[in-house]
């Protein structure tokens, strides 16, 4: 399932909840991303031993802890201007 769908599951948990409780309830859920997949349990483990007051805290922790492979091209932005002194690409109109 997608990261968004996986984090939606955290909305159904009872809070406050610890990392261990969320791992027990949702740890086997597989998060698919462009470079493969990982379990929600593995992602939660990277958040450390925490107690989350609500779903928002848990979701933010998970989004911050997903593996680098889940974010696509690291450092990529099609919005950043070309830095001064660097020959950049020609703008293309779609």
Per residue in 21-74, pLDDT (tens digit) is 999 999 999 998 877 899 999 999 999 888 999 999 999 999 888 877 776 666
Q: What residues are paired with 32 via a beta bridge? A: 37
Q: Is 26 exposed, middle or buried (0-12, 13-18, 19+ CB in 10 A)?
A: buried
CB atoms within 10 A of CB 6: 20
Q: Please tell me the total number of residues recorded for the chain in this structure.
A: 94
Rounded to an integer, the average pLDDT of 6-22 is 93
- Do 55 and 15 contact (CB within 8 A), yes or no? yes
pTM of the complete model beyond 0.75:
no
Instruction: Looking at 1-94, list the stretches that DSSP marks H as alpha helix, in order from N- to C-terminal side.
Output: 3-10, 19-26, 40-45, 55-65
Least confident segment among 15-24, 50-59, 75-84: 75-84
């Amino acid at each position: 399932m997608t990261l968004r769908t996986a984090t939606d599951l955290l909305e159904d948990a009872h809070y406050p909840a610890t990392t261990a409780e969320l791992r027990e309830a949702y740890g086997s859920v597989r998060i698919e991303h462009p470079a493969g997949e990982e379990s929600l349990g593995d992602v939660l483990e990277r958040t450390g031993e925490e107690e989350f007051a609500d779903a928002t805290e848990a979701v933010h922790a998970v989004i911050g802890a997903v593996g680098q492979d889940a974010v696509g091209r690291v450092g990529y932005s099609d919005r950043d201007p070309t830095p001064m002194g660097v020959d950049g690409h020609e703008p293309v109109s779609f």
